[in-house]
Amino acid sequence: MCSLSNKRIILGVTGGIAAYKSAEVVRRLQDLGAEVRVVMTPGAEEFLRPLTMQALSGHPVHTGLLDEKAEAGMGHIELARWADLLLIAPASADFIANMVHGRADSLLAAIYLATPARVAIAPAMNQAMWSHSASVENINNLTHRGVTIIGPESGSQACGDIGPGRMEQPDSIIEQASNLFNSGVLQGKKVVITAGPTREALDPVRYISNHSSGKMGYALATAAIDAGADVTLISGPVALSIPERCRGILVMSAKEMQQAALGFTEGADIFIATAAVADYRATSIASEKIKSGDDKMTISLEKNPDIVSSVASTFKNLFVVGFAAESNDVETYAKGKLEQKHLDAIVANDISRTDIGFNSDDNEVSWIDTDSTIAFGKRSKAQLARDLVAQIAIKINPTHLD
């Protein structure tokens, strides 16, 4: 079982006697490091009090679709975008049917329709209901849409029947949910990622830099690790911890990042340049602190090396992905960089928007390569990272399609 550390999980609870097991699911998710938000249907509230789930999760439980307080805080669309995984346990026969037909008559159903995250359900119902042709057809339909079905198990049921339909035990649900983040699509691949800003010194205390938080690069490192890759993360100064199972190389300036990139990319399969490298550096660095005095000061600057271009030109068999942070004509400038820097793909995002990009936990980008442009709507950077890793896997191995 892989760690669920920092994974954002919505636990959806629908009506049924198995709802009591959901309390243990919350506890086990948190034991593995996940951040959990609970959403309950009206039927679930008949079997389990929201206060119980609030106490276990440490967060208010979301229930009503038209809850004004909830919408003023984290509304259902924001909640849907927040998640890395929507896990519905238990999933009743009625709710499964609603999923199939796209009904949004509850908060949980609306979140299902709006989320870009993975979705998994743990069905729970009477054995005859589970075996009915309508239920079989519904489950097949959801499976075809990419929903993961966990269980059910067979055994004694609350109604006295014996057979399949019992919700899987919490430990089994957690294990299978955890495995969803371990795709294996980059198994055996060596990946090098640059992240964060660079700092170009002016004197011992001042420097030129930018607002990059490194969150996108670090999310990509985690997603690549979960996909089975051997990952080296070359990071500028950020307030983040190097992900587990990752080789971390800490640098400060653009020159240091270029040296590390060229040194550690030898033998790699994929290079992802998410770092926001300072375009210029001071031609000379003052050995002592520059004293304030005159109303104006002139600083002479020179161009920094283009790291992703140097890597792409040095390693011909490498799959190179660049990032383009633009404030206008985003796709036009990104396509220009794709060609000029001889990249295999580029990810373009609009930094003029305050709700995505620098320092935000969310992003909205376009993947651009020589064959196509794919838009990835607003979602968490963690979810976007997994989507981008899946796209890279398709490009480097087009015969491996899920």
Q: What is the pLDDT of residues 36-89, one digit of tens each?
A: 999 999 999 999 999 999 999 999 999 877 665 554 445 668 888 889 899 999
Average pLDDT of span 2-30: 90
- Interatomic CA distance for residues 337 and 335, integer angstroms: 5
Which of these three, 144, 159, 179, is where a domain ends?
179
Of 137, 181, 171, the C-alpha closest to 151 is 171
- Interatomic CA distance for residues 206 and 253, integer angstroms: 13
| Residue 312 C-beta-side C-alpha neighbours within 13 Å | 21
Other C-beta atoms closer than 10 Å to the C-beta of 386 total 27
Tell me if 316 is assigned to a ligand binding site.
no
**Helix residue ranges per DSSP H, 58-123:** 68-72, 76-82, 93-101, 107-114
159 is catalytic: yes
Average pLDDT of span 313-334: 89
What pTM does this model have? 0.75
Tell me if 38 is assigned to a ligand binding site.
no
Q: CA 291 → CA 60, 204, 285, 300, distances in Å?
A: 52, 12, 14, 17
Which of these three, 179, 207, 231, is where a domain ends?
179
Helix (H, G, I), strand (E, B) or coil at 208: strand
Backbone φ and ψ for 362, nearest 5 degrees, come out as -120, 160
The CATH number covering residue 174 comes to 3.40.50.1950
* Residues 293 and 362 reside in one and the same domain: yes
281-304 residue pLDDT tens: 999 999 999 888 778 888 899 999
- Interatomic CA distance for residues 181 and 193, integer angstroms: 19
Tell me if 215 is assigned to a ligand binding site.
no
Of 26, 25, 13, the C-alpha closest to 56 is 26
Tell me if 395 is assigned to a ligand binding site.
no
**Residues 166, 155: contact at Cβ < 8 Å?**
yes
Task: Give me 8's structure tokens.
Answer: 């954002």
* Residues 57 and 122 reside in one and the same domain: yes
What average pLDDT does the structure give for the chain? 90
335-372 residue pLDDT tens: 999 999 999 999 998 777 766 667 688 889 999 998 88
Residue 113 backbone class (left: φ over 0; alpha: ψ -120 to 50; beta: rest)? alpha
Domain that holds residue 105: 8-179
Spell 252-264 as b/e; 16+ CB within 10 A means b.
bbbebbbbbbbeb
Of 213, 340, 207, 200, the C-alpha closest to 280 is 200
Tell me if 307 is assigned to a ligand binding site.
yes
Catalytic residue among 159, 162, 205, 375: 159
Which of these three, 179, 203, 232, is where a domain ends?
179
Of 225, 305, 321, 231, the C-alpha closest to 268 is 231
Tell me if 355 is assigned to a ligand binding site.
no
* Residues 215 and 252 reside in one and the same domain: yes
* Residues 66 and 99 reside in one and the same domain: yes
Tell me if 295 is assigned to a ligand binding site.
no
Does 97 reside within a domain?
yes
Does 185 reside within a domain?
no
The CATH number covering residue 369 comes to 3.40.50.10300
Question: 203: burial class by Cβ within 10 Å (0-12, 13-18, 19+)?
Answer: middle
Tell me if 289 is assigned to a ligand binding site.
yes
